[in-house]
Chains A and B, each alone.
Chain A
Amino acid sequence: MSVTKQQAFMEAYRSCHEPFVRYCTAIVHGKMATEDLVQDVLLSAYKNYDVLSSDTPLLHYLVRAARNRKVSLWRKSKHRAEFTEDDAAKLKSRETPPDVLLDIQLLYRLIQKLPEAQGDALLLFEISGFSMKEIAIIQDSTEGAIKTKISRGRKLLKQMLSEPESESHSTGFKSNML
């Protein structure tokens, strides 16, 4: 019985893994360890897996749970001010080029400066690969509203990218792309 549940859960989860982890990485960036959030959400998902309604995709549940839990976990965890050496070391160990590391740092930092709804929609759309319709379901909104959020979010990001380097320096970043 239990093995069946574990197998069924993993089978359903496998396709969700990458978008879910990317989303978690983005929303907890600089605040806590991705692994903690992933583990916490997975625990909750596994527990409730039997009662998840068939019309609720597991990925939607995972994203919602991650978004809800990040706040409480963030309060409980020690606030991390910067993209830490640990984060960099993890990515380096996976042979990520240094310039990509900087890109990741930069993008996550900028997204966190966006209004929460915009940043969330942008993350789900651009990084996790959700469709507008799916994001609307997840955020309990309409497709049109999501489209607007994403559009406005992108616009704000572009503005931030166009701003002089001094601001980037002030936030502790130095990107050769700017």
Chain B
Amino acid sequence: MKSSNERLDELFRSVKEAPIEVEISKVEGFVSSLPEVNNMPADGANGSLNLKIISMISLPLLVISVLYLFQIPEVVSESSIDELNEGVEVMVDTIDPDILSLSNLEIDPISTLAEFSALDSIFDVGTVEISGQTMALSSLSIESKLSPKQDLLQPSRIPEMEPSGLIALDQYQVGADVRTDTMRIPEGSQLSIASGTPPPELSNRQMKQLKKSLYSNLYSDGLIPADTSTVYIKLPGSQVMINGERLNEGLATAYSKLTTIAGFGEHRAIKLSPDLILVGDFVGDDFKGSGVGLFPIPPIDTSVFTELDRSLERLGTQTRYAFDFSDDWNNLNEFAEKVLAKTPEQIGKKRLLSVDLDGDQMSTLYEMLQRQLLEDNLIESETDWVILGIGERTITFNGKEIPAENQLAYRSILKTNRIKSGANRMIRISDKVIGVGDFKPGAFKGTIWKLSN
């Protein structure tokens, strides 16, 4: 029998002879991955620096970020609720040099308000298609709210039709203080970007955030008297100028950083008003860039199209103008009023937030609904007009309740597209336009999408 001493020695020997837990190759790999310079954090931080702890911190952050991203549309809608008056939210994107414009339009007082929330919406709203090419007609100005110094889009400054074949859209007569003009870019003109960055293509959300951030900072820095003032920020690259005033070095640096997303250039500027933000290159009356804002839809006199047609005939092109969407929309709403006249009032919550979908989402929604409606034999063709009432308890089709067994499919489509029910919530579809949102008497708040052929 072994003595205790021998047993102990044997134990120690066993332990000493056992393979070690951490191999030298692991250490070599670890050391080689360490920073080259001695810039690691202090000991206290080192104490907790290992992969397990890093993953413990980063994983929850990642999960929270992902959850936040999924929530972002709602957040954006909420944050911009003050901006979402009944009006049209218009995205202005890059205008092609060979843009067409309309002249001598007589616009009647606004009768219908709509909110456009998608970039592509305005493309359709102000699009002229020529030989398969789409050109944007988009221009925004606020006549009464811009000071003379800031108002780059004074109607009086928009020249008459150019001999180059361009058609100018100007001299609107609008019954409200907000009006729309078409920015005109002479054929073949090249906005100067040589000395700066290309005109920014910003998303709806980016622009809203920029607007909010700028207003907040400008007001707190005392650069504007109120956070509803109209602001014109020039970003030539060398010095930020706000409403024609140069900033001191500290503020200039801060605002340069704040407006980095807008880039810079000889003609680069940001126009801000409570109703809109425009970010891009302003050359005279021309604009190239991105914008988002709220505008009433002006019912457009049909003479516009006559003029447009004539102009385009001169250009020798086959035309299809998209400005007639307003008529389509009005006709659709007239149809809706008729079919809903005898329908009991829709039950549901009064929604504070409108439906805010982009072009792709609207296309998806349209396709899904059309497929389901055809499948349920509620429509015979895709050109049939549809008024879907999205009540809390029931969904109606053209004023009639859809059978309960079929409603689940529509609820599923609505859920997929994140459309909630509501007291005034509807989807209205004609052969040319689809609108989703809250249809209050005399007003609409939501998203309208012009259907392409």
Interface residues, chain A, CB within 8 Å of chain B? 1-3, 5-6, 9-10, 13-14, 17-18, 21-22, 24-26, 34-36, 38-40, 42-44, 46-47, 50, 69, 72-73, 76, 87, 90-91, 94-96, 100, 103-104, 106-108, 126-127, 129, 154, 157-159, 161-162, 177
Contact = CB atoms under 8 A, between A and B. Distances in A.
Interface in B16-64: 16-22, 24, 26-28, 30-32, 34-38, 40, 43, 46-50, 52
Which 8 A/B pairs are nearest by Cβ-Cβ distance?
A2-B36, A94-B19, A158-B4, A103-B14, A126-B12, A21-B20, A34-B21, A107-B11
A39 to B, nearest CB: 6
Given A107-B11, A158-B4, A21 B36 contact: no
B30 A39 contact: yes
B11 A106 contact: yes
B281 to A, nearest CB: 46
A17 B49 contact: no
Interface residues of B, number: 36
Given A46-B34, A73-B47, A161-B7, A14 B24 contact: yes
Nearest to B51: A39
A103 B15 contact: yes
B21 A90 contact: yes
A10 B12 contact: no
Contacts of B30: 39, 42
Given A91-B19, A107-B11, A161 B4 contact: yes
Interface of B: 4-5, 7-8, 10-12, 14-22, 24, 26-28, 30-32, 34-38, 40, 43, 46-50, 52
B16 A127 contact: yes
A2 B32 CA distance: 10
Contacts of A90: 21
Contacts of B36: 1-3, 5-6
Nearest to B36: A2
A43 B7 contact: no
B18 A177 contact: no
The secondary structure that dominates the B interface is: helix
Contacts of B35: 2
A54 B246 CA distance: 60
Nearest to A3: B36
Given A22-B20, A25-B20, A161-B7, A39 B14 contact: no
Contact of A43 (B5, B32, B49): B49
A17 B28 CA distance: 11
Contacts of A104: 14-15, 18
Given A40-B50, A69-B47, A91-B18, A17 B5 contact: no
B381 to A, nearest CB: 66
B22 A38 contact: yes
A160 to B, nearest CB: 9
A151 B232 CA distance: 85
Given A6-B34, A35-B21, A91-B21, 12 more contacts: A1-B37, A9-B31, A24-B22, A38-B27, A73-B47, A94-B19, A104-B18, A127-B16, A154-B5, A157-B8, A158-B4, A161-B7
A17 B27 contact: yes
Given A72-B47, A106-B11, A126-B12, A100 B27 contact: no
